Structure 1
Amino acid sequence: MPPAPTGPVASVLFVCVHNAGRSQMAAGFLTHLAGGRVEVRSAGSLPAGQVNPAAVEAMREVGVDISAERPKVLDPEAVRASDYVITMGCGDACPIFPGKKYLDWQLADPAGRDVAAVRPIRDEIRARVEELIAEIDAAAAR
């Protein structure tokens, strides 16, 4: 039996337009749920000035603190360095590199919504992140 990996088994980049809501929540969940098994990045094609306060509060409600995060600009190097690139409404702004697994998650945009409206989006993101972790773990076990 091969030794267990000591570092991350995969790297994931979450991309949305503003890197202020969906991608930040997804990155927060993946970091929280996968521990150090997965390297996590997030970015936006047109980053906002700050993370959506309703997203921060919705995540705090489930024990995940994303309050220190800041929106980051999408850099082609971040795409190149990632095994999985998950887009959330960024359209054609995300560069395509061979050998990456691209997934497009159709999710409502939490921009301008209150915490009550963000909760169902948060919960859907968590379910998708849990599925992603299962896929990454299965691939690493092969």
Structure 2
Amino acid sequence: MTTQTTPHVPQVVFACVRNGGRSVAARLLTEHYARGRVVALSAGTQPGEHIHPEVAVELEALGLDTSREHPKHLTREMIAASDLAITLGCGETCPYVPGVTYRDWPVDDPGGQDEATVRRVLADLDGRVRELLRELVPDLDLPPSVVTS
């Protein structure tokens, strides 16, 4: 008798301060490319009231739906349930959970920035997310980038 094991689906939490730009973009990009092979969460240490409108406009232009996005508070439980926590500017205010791998992505805050800056930040995140997915799910057939140069 053979037993089948369900493959582990990695979970990543993207954390920033307001959860209105970088972390939301990273989560949406991850979900788009991973197609169910990675679970992505986003949250903030001091969540704002809404997603930055300039970020939402550019994400929508890339074909990523932001209509259900709203800032969420980052909890120890979110991090503890994740394999990887990626911080995007929340620094030492992010809860630390032993056993979880942390990485910091030094990505500029797109909130309140002009269109060109927001696009540059999204392109930066796109490249980082695609590289992360190659690492987490090496056999994933990544679709083409949504960001055009």
> What is the TM-score with the length of structure 2 in the denominator?
0.86
In structure 2, relative to structure 1, the CA distance for the partners of 1:5 and 1:131 (3 Å cut) is: farther
- After superposing on structure 2, the runs of 4+ consecutive aligned residues of structure 1 that deviate more than 4 Å are 2-6
Could you tell me which residue of structure 2 aligns to residue 89 of structure 1? 89
Q: What CA deviation, in whole Å up to 9, does each residue of 1:1-33 have, x standing for no partner?
A: x96846x62000000000000000000000111
Distance (Å, rounded) in 2 between the aligned partners of 1:41 and 1:139: 22
For structure 1, which segment, 106-115 or 72-81, has the greater mean C-alpha deviation from structure 2 after superposition?
Answer: 106-115
Q: Identity of aligned pairs, percent?
A: 40
Superposed, 1:1-142 pairs within 5 Å as 5=6, 9-138=9-138
Deviation at 1:114, TM superposition (A): 2.5
Larger proportion of helix: 1
Q: What CA deviation, in whole Å up to 9, does each residue of 1:77-130 have, x standing for no partner?
A: 001000010000001111222221111000111111132220000000000000
Distance (Å, rounded) in 2 between the aligned partners of 1:105 and 1:139: 24
| DSSP 3-state at the match of 1:36 | coil
Counting matched residue pairs gives 138
The alignment yields a C-alpha RMSD, in angstroms, of: 2.0
> What is the TM-score with the length of structure 1 in the denominator?
0.90
Task: Tell whether the 8 Å contact from 1:57 to 1:115 is kept in structure 2 after alignment.
Answer: no
Distance (Å, rounded) in 1 between the aligned partners of 2:135 and 2:10: 11
Could you tell me which residue of structure 1 aligns to residue 144 of structure 2? none
Task: Tell whether the 8 Å contact from 1:25 to 1:66 is kept in structure 2 after alignment.
Answer: no
Alignment-mate amino acid for residue 50 of structure 2: Q
Distance (Å, rounded) in 1 between the aligned partners of 2:73 and 2:103: 19
